[in-house]
Amino acid sequence: MTMFLIKKADVGKIAQELSREYEVYGPMIEKSSGQTFFDRVEDLAEINLAAPIPSNPPKAVVFPQMERILAYEYDRTKNAVKMEPDYRVVPKALVGLRPCDLAGMLCLDRFFMGQEFVDEVYLNHRKKMFIVTNTCITPFKQCFCVCTDSGPAAKEGYDLNLTDLGGEFLVEVGSEKGAALAAKLGLAPAGDPHLALKNEKVDKSIAMFEDIAVDSKAWISRVMNRVTTGFAKEEVWEYIGDQCFECGACTFVCPSCSCFNIADVSNPECAGCADRLRTWDSCSYEGYSRMAGGHNPRKPVEDRRNKRFFCKLSYSQMKKYLRPGCVGCGRCAWVCPGDIGLPNVVTYVRREITR
Amino acid sequence: MNQKPGVCTFCGTGCGHFIGTENNRVTRVYPSQNHPVSKGRLCVRGWNIHELLDTPERIKKPLVRADGGYTESSYEDAVARLVENLKKYPPESIGFLASPRSSNEEQYLLMKLARAAFRTNNISLDSDSGHRASLNVLHAGTGMAGMLGSIEEIRKAEFILVAGIDITRQNPIIGSEIHMAARAGAMVVTLDSRRTQIAKLSKKFLQVNPGANKLAILALARTINDENLSDAAFMSAHTEGFDTFRHAFGLLPDNEVSDKTGIPAEEIKAVARDLAKAKSAMVFFSSGISGLDEDTIGYIYNLFLMAGKIGREGCGVNPVAGLNNLQGGYDMGLAPDLLTGFQPLADEAVAKKFAAEWKADVPSAPGTPVYESLSNPSSKLKALVVVDHDEGIVRYADAIRNLDFVAYIGAFKNPFADFAHVVLPIATYVQEDATFTNTERRIQLSMKKIEPEEGLLPGWKLYTMIAGKAGQAWTYAKVADVMEEIARLTPPYAGVSHAKLSSGFGMQWPVNEKNPKGTGRFDVAKAGRKLSFYKVSDVFEVPSAKEQYPFLLMVGKAQHFWHQNNLMKKTHIPMREYNATLMDYPDGYVEICPQSAKEIGVRDRWPVRVVSPHGEMRVAARVSDDVRPNTAYAPYFVQEMISRFLLGHTEVLKQGEDATIPVRIEKV
Ligand code: SF4
Ligand code: SF4
Ligand code: SF4
Ligand code: SF4
């Protein structure tokens, strides 16, 4: 593997170079609130590699909350339909992606593009992308990627991977695109001692989870077995379901959740014209799983919750993603009005096992 | 980065969010992590507000009625038409129906327009009097016409009573705070006739007979009295007038408690002891369109006063406003008898202060709430101005059709506009800076996020234009100037300005010299007065089912949707969720328990006829364990038919949440 070094003061050059060819996205701190967002960067100086894990999942770049994917016009007199797909094929660079979020995006890749049917809209967002990951040398309060094998350092899927070694960043190259950029920047080569230092930093970070990542502890492996085989007791799901407010937040914030809704919105100013919107959706909503004819296979709310956790924690889903669906970012615990983020659910299912 | 902070404008919780835009259109929403109220959470409505804010279902051009249809017009002409028509009538024949969704600035200017320019006090909020009832009680008792507690302090309460409100549906993020408090160990008790989600999440659930809330509260208060559990030191130091309440204790013989309330007497006593024992306690009840009646609220307030649970940390008597700026509406004087900040219109010094600021006399002739006029066949009302009507249906449609002139002002399309002779569009709340006051008195500034469509005016500019045409020169250069005027006239808002609100997460009134950063909770130590017990009635008409009408029908809200809310209908996902219910029950439903269903001989989704002394409706049965035998529940917004059926029961709509209708339910 090729490795380079870049001085802390120079790390901004990576985004600068990328901005010539790509629309740049990265972590920034919103001033009025102190909240981190992973968003389109207008001022490159705003990228903050030390910012805590972004509050929003970077999946929004490839899978926006609401996007127009098609415009159509029906001409009644000619009985003709005009359809215009609306894909934004713009090269995008993600700078400073956290490892868990990259793992989430890889799950989405497998969902949207890795099966029989390839999702054109997603593909068009995702192709021509440059990814720069950022190793977490300290975890954050709600993190548990060590339990889901998705951090605190990225292993695959990046073009460049950055690790803060103190005065400089280690730059690991993960692709030809990455190598080309490193060459263009004329970076100094790094050697084994630097890699050893990185590994030390990662081990230290893992050791810090005990004290820092206190909000979330999710021992996932035992629970996976239970969830997959359906042995988790019904009362546990009921206990969880009673606490669900059906807000949809856990799905929206999850870097690997892919539920969406399609809505055609007619234009009151143009008869026969409509926009087709794709919006985030959630399996926690009653209307989501409803089938035509009034049969809803997942009517009671505890069943709908069950589906989400099944999605995140079962082996069968793992086969699809080639990894657990949960990447340990802890966001769902943050936003859940019912206090049933994934770590708590894991605790409840485990409690049942140990009992 | 394209994330602009703002406030969710669906319900009175006032959660913080960020709105993202692209090409001058709203494309997304995200919760605000550090917001003191919502702390990173939103409910299903809040998570989908971008769908509403991007709807094409907007009013974009002024319209005037001509030849049975509408023709597009200019603001200039439409406003001229409006003013000309209103000026035709004496003040008592003009009415203004204001919106509990408009910003404080817009509400204030509409109030000023009605009074200063058109000289009428016929102005009221387009929602029921429920919240006013709460404010009356709290204002009389403590001087504070708003929630006494603070949402941020919920987790400091050791005891929380949730009385007759489906709070995880109506104001979900407040419900979430209560749930979190319960998980941290608080004794949460739900008093309701229906097993709501919060009932399931509570430590104790008192399933009260429909219509017997007041009696249950009285039983709690009496236990505290009989067992000497009241906070005697607090009572003597801080309260007065206990004698006006004490007499009520004799009205409920011990042996009738469980019979009339449906709750075992011992359970009530245990809850009274929990309340007395707790160091801090809060109560939440519904305010707004289906809130409790004033007398019941008086009982609740008195109970908490006896227990010494007012004005201290973690305490509060907390009416919950269902609509985002309902509290602001009363703060802005949208009532025939009020000016801003709950200052009585009848107070001459107050009226003088306003007259000096407005350079126009404040009319002194008493006004009438608009709905009261509409329901009165001999009313003098002839011309009506309506702003941003909220309900998806129009009540008193016949009376409105009979008016000489109707003007509709709003941002979104609405069925009320079909009754109008002049329709005037205004910008949405993300197209101009605007402040809203949530249910805990938090005034929050939501900054402009996108430009209004070409030529479209924000509300404050339109009102200024109307005033100008009516002969009043208003000189606001920007919307922040309006708040400055409000601050000059309104003691609780004295220290408020847009500049001060532009950072942080809003301020809770009163904001004044003594409390420059606002006031989280009512504080008995700073009250400067004694708290008085509220004078309650001793009338307890517990409705009882009769042979002919063996069911007590409760009416209320359900999830995702309030009273056919006009805004929700312009979203995709919340609307789909609403439709999901309708697919199962296309004609609406009445909820009954399995035992009752068996007796009637119906199953889930079978049609039934609901018959009352005043009318009947045909709906589906929804069989559920959440109600008890011989009680039934109908969410009144689910079908227009249900709304119409209920309109025949005006006295019920007045009573609000505790109201019941004795009915017979038959198989068809
Ligand atoms: S979960 Fe792991 S990878 Fe994600 S931000 Fe936290 S430490 Fe980094
Ligand atoms: S399930 Fe929760 S913790 Fe796991 S990846 Fe999704 S949001 Fe993150
Ligand atoms: S975030 Fe929590 S309450 Fe909301 S849908 Fe998910 S599990 Fe339910
Ligand atoms: S609780 Fe109310 S204010 Fe908060 S997100 Fe929901 S609708 Fe909006």
- How far is Cα A278 from Cα B415, in angstroms, rounded to an integer? 28
Ligand 4 centroid distance, CA of B135 (Å): 22
Look-up of token digits 């500019």: B461
C-alpha dist (Å) from residue A71 to A145, A276, B55, B304, B403? 40, 6, 15, 59, 43
What pLDDT, in 10s, does the model give residues A177-236? Answer: 999 999 999 999 999 999 999 999 999 999 999 888 877 666 676 677 677 666 677 888
* b/e burial code for range B118-130 (CB count within 10 A of at least 16 → b): bbbbbbbbbbbbb
If we measure between CA atoms, which residue out of A279, A269, A278, A265 comes closest to residue A72?
A265
Q: What is the pLDDT, as a whole number, of residue A338?
A: 96
Q: What is the pLDDT, as a whole number, of residue A291?
A: 52
Q: For ligand 2, is residue A255 a contact (CB within 6 Å)?
A: yes
Helix (H) or strand (E) holding B50: helix B49-53
- The CATH number of B2-53 is 3.30.200.210
B145-320 folds as: Dimethylsulfoxide Reductase; domain 2 (3.40.228)
Confidence of residue B559 (pLDDT cuts 50, 70, 90): very low
Shortest CB distance from A32 goes to which of B30, B172, B503? B503
Give B 451-510 residues with CB within 8 A of chain A.
503
Look-up of token digits 């919340």: B574
C-alpha dist (Å) from residue B623 to A157, A243, A244, B149, B633? 52, 22, 22, 38, 11
pLDDT at B579 over 90: no
User: Lowest mean pLDDT: which of A160-164, A267-271, B556-560?
Assistant: B556-560
CA-based nearest distance A17→chain B, Å: 19
| 3-class DSSP assignment, residue B351 | helix
Q: How far apart are the first and last CA of chain B?
A: 60
Which letter does DSSP use for residue B482 in this model?
H
pLDDT at A353 over 60: no
User: Lowest mean pLDDT: which of A132-146, B248-262, B575-589?
Assistant: B575-589
Both tokens of B179, joined, read 């749930």
Shortest CB distance from B576 goes to which of A64, A243, A287? A287
- Number of H helices and number of E strands within chain B? 24, 26
Ligand number nearest CA of A326 is: 2
Helix (H) or strand (E) holding B16: strand B16-22
Both tokens of B208, joined, read 């009260």
What pLDDT, in 10s, does the model give residues A103-153? Answer: 999 999 999 998 778 999 999 999 899 999 999 999 999 999 988 889 899
Quote the mean pLDDT of chain B.
Answer: 91
| 3-class DSSP assignment, residue B347 | coil
Q: Give me the residues paired with residue B22 across strands.
A: B25
What pLDDT, in 10s, does the model give residues B78-122? Answer: 999 999 999 999 999 999 999 999 999 999 999 999 999 999 999
Both tokens of A149, joined, read 């094998």
Q: What is the pLDDT, as a whole number, of residue B558?
A: 47
Q: Kindly state whether B182 is in contact with chain A, defined as any CB-CB distance less than 8 angstroms.
A: no
pLDDT at B613 over 90: no
If we measure between CA atoms, which residue out of A168, A154, A41, A45 comes closest to residue A92?
A41
Q: Are B295 and B537 in contact (CB under 8 A)?
A: yes
pLDDT at B648 over 80: no
Q: What is the pLDDT, as a whole number, of residue B288?
A: 53
pLDDT at A260 over 60: yes
- How far is Cα B547 from Cα B287, in angstroms, rounded to an integer? 33
Name the CATH code of domain B63-126+326-511 (choices 3.90.1150.10, 3.30.470.20, 3.30.460.20, 3.40.50.740): 3.40.50.740
- Percent with pLDDT over 70 in chain B: 93
Whole-model pTM: value is 0.94
Confidence of residue A355 (pLDDT cuts 50, 70, 90): very low
- How far is Cα B285 from Cα A289, in angstroms, rounded to an integer? 34
What pLDDT, in 10s, does the model give residues B113-165? Answer: 999 999 999 999 987 557 899 999 999 999 999 999 999 999 999 999 999 88
pLDDT at B470 over 90: yes
* Chain A residue numbers touching B28 (CB-CB < 8 A): 60, 64-66
User: Lowest mean pLDDT: which of A20-24, A346-350, B32-36, B235-239?
Assistant: A346-350
Q: Are A219 and A346 in contact (CB under 8 A)?
A: yes
CA-based nearest distance B73→chain A, Å: 16
- Fill in the amino acid letter for A119: D
- How far is Cα B327 from Cα B135, in angstroms, rounded to an integer? 9
What pLDDT, in 10s, does the model give residues A301-311? Answer: 666 666 777 77
C-alpha dist (Å) from residue B308 to A30, B153, B225, B649? 43, 17, 12, 38
Return residue ranges of chain B for CATH 2.40.40.20: 551-667
Q: What is the pLDDT, as a whole number, of residue B630?
A: 87
Return residue ranges of chain B for CATH 3.30.200.210: 2-53
Give A 47-86 residues with CB within 8 A of chain B.
55-56, 60, 64-67
Confidence of residue B659 (pLDDT cuts 50, 70, 90): low
Confidence of residue B560 (pLDDT cuts 50, 70, 90): very low
Q: What is the pLDDT, as a whole number, of residue A294?
A: 53
- How far is Cα A247 from Cα A341, in angstroms, rounded to an integer? 12
| 3-class DSSP assignment, residue A164 | strand
Shortest CB distance from A279 goes to which of B56, B573, B583? B573
* Chain A residue numbers touching B197 (CB-CB < 8 A): 242, 245
- How far is Cα B282 from Cα B221, in angstroms, rounded to an integer? 15
How many other C-beta atoms are found inside a 10 Å radius of the C-beta of residue A298?
A: 17
Query: What are the structural domain ranges in chain A?
Result: 3-351
Confidence of residue B573 (pLDDT cuts 50, 70, 90): confident
- How far is Cα A181 from Cα A167, in angstroms, rounded to an integer? 21
Return residue ranges of chain B for CATH 3.40.228.10: 145-320
Task: Return phi, psi of residue B125, to 5°.
Answer: -85, 140
Ligand number nearest CA of A327 is: 2
pLDDT at B561 over 50: no
* b/e burial code for range A315-344 (CB count within 10 A of at least 16 → b): eebbeebebbbbbbbbbbbbbbbbebbbbb
Contact B33 A334 (CB under 8 A): yes
Please state the separation of Cα A129 from the chain's center in Å: 15
- How far is Cα A84 from Cα B4, in angstroms, rounded to an integer? 31
The tally of CA atoms less than 13 A away on the side-chain side of residue A297 is 7
| 3-class DSSP assignment, residue A123 | helix
Q: How far apart are the first and last CA of chain A?
A: 48
pLDDT at B4 over 80: yes
How many other C-beta atoms are found inside a 10 Å radius of the C-beta of residue B363?
A: 19
Question: What top-level class would CATH report for the domain B551-667?
Answer: mainly beta
What pLDDT, in 10s, does the model give residues A45-96? Answer: 999 999 999 999 999 999 999 998 888 888 878 888 888 777 778 999 999 9
If we measure between CA atoms, which residue out of B236, B239, B317 comes closest to residue B284?
B317
Shortest CB distance from A335 goes to which of B18, B40, B50? B40
CA-based nearest distance B84→chain A, Å: 31
Per the model's pLDDT, the better-predicted residue between B375 and B511 turns out to be B511
Quick one: three-class SS letters along A29-84?
EECCCCEEEEEECCCHHHCCCCCCCCCCCHHHHCCCCEEEEEEEEEECCCCEEEEE
What pLDDT, in 10s, does the model give residues B175-205? Answer: 999 999 999 999 999 999 889 999 999 999 9
Q: Kindly state whether A34 is in contact with chain B, defined as any CB-CB distance less than 8 angstroms.
A: yes
Give B 572-601 residues with CB within 8 A of chain A.
572-573, 576-577, 579-581, 583-584
